Amino acid sequence: MTYQADDSRYERQPYNRSGRSGLKLPAVSLGLWHNFGDTRPIENSRAILRRAFDLGVTHFDLANNYGVPYGSAETNFGRILREDFTPYRDELIISTKAGYDMWPGPYGEWGSRKYVLASLDQSLKRMGLEYVDIFYSHRPDPGTPLEETMGALDRAVRSGKALYAGISNYSAEQTAQAARIMRELGTPLLIHQPSYSMINRWIEDGLLDAVEEAGMGCIVFSPLAQGLLTDRYLGGVPADSRAATSRFLSADRIDLDLARGLDEIARGRGQTLAQMALSWTLRDPRVTSVLIGASSVRQLEDNVACVDGPAFTEDELGAIDKITERYTAR
């Protein structure tokens, strides 16, 4: 059946300006890291993307090596984009990244001009696009001058293959340096994408200040700490859970007291634990958007509903800080 977007899609989602730029992003964006590769049914991926757009989620975030195998998330997204979203391309923000390992040999990862620009060309081919809206340096490269990596981002924008440039996983000092270089080149950085959650607060120690000073936005990933901040583990570790099956989260990181204590606060707010965790990351106005992953339409709908939650009281924030204090990474 031909997809027709919901006419009320822009009534459900707040949109926040990314730093001092002219671009607004939805408060909740959809990341395609885990659930859009060849190991997942494409019709499930299609249903998630359709429902996300119907809920006002206009930003879809990818990277060159997302999916199993690498590149498959971009390929599958490109197919769905072509079949379902072609009429809506100008309503979408599509981003991708280069920085982690993608192909064998010395030119298949990190931040050289050779790798970054070749990766962008490959990503555009996989998705069937002439340009992406945001192109990121996915991580800083200690072996490549920052001027070279930023020069490649500048070239990507000037060539018309990207509209905006961003960085991900850069420290506060590296962010300030990168922003200065890009300003001098005439292509200001639009946004930074770091990890952030109630138990991973490293960006509060300087990075948010650096982002604000540079006039950049901030879009955060892993806001649910790979599922730790959801109701998934309130009763223990299910055999099919990420903690039991994924290398990105181990069962020894699960703490039932943490999850149950936070869940009690969430229920008092009329939210699920996941909804509260997402709302918490958006409480700081310097955070433009929060990236969620979704393996089902139901999970997507539950997470996107975080935007309907109430503002936090000082008592709630204090209680959250008390519960998370000994778990918090800075």
Q: pTM for the full model? A: 0.93
pLDDT tens per residue, the chain (330 residues)? 799 999 999 999 999 999 999 999 999 999 999 899 999 999 999 999 999 999 999 999 999 999 999 999 999 999 999 999 999 999 999 999 999 999 999 999 999 999 999 999 999 999 999 999 999 999 999 999 999 999 999 999 999 999 999 999 999 999 999 999 999 999 999 999 999 999 999 999 999 999 999 999 999 999 999 899 999 878 655 555 454 444 444 445 557 789 999 999 999 999 999 999 999 999 999 999 999 999 999 999 999 999 999 999 999 999 999 999 988 766
Outline where the chain has alpha helix (H). 42-54, 72-80, 113-127, 146-158, 172-185, 207-214, 242-245, 256-268, 273-281, 297-304, 314-324
Contact 69, 38 (CB under 8 A): yes
305: Cα separation from own chain's centroid: 17
Instruction: Give the closest residue to 245 by CA, choosing from 262, 230, 227.
Output: 227
> Which three-class secondary structure state does DSSP give residue 135?
strand
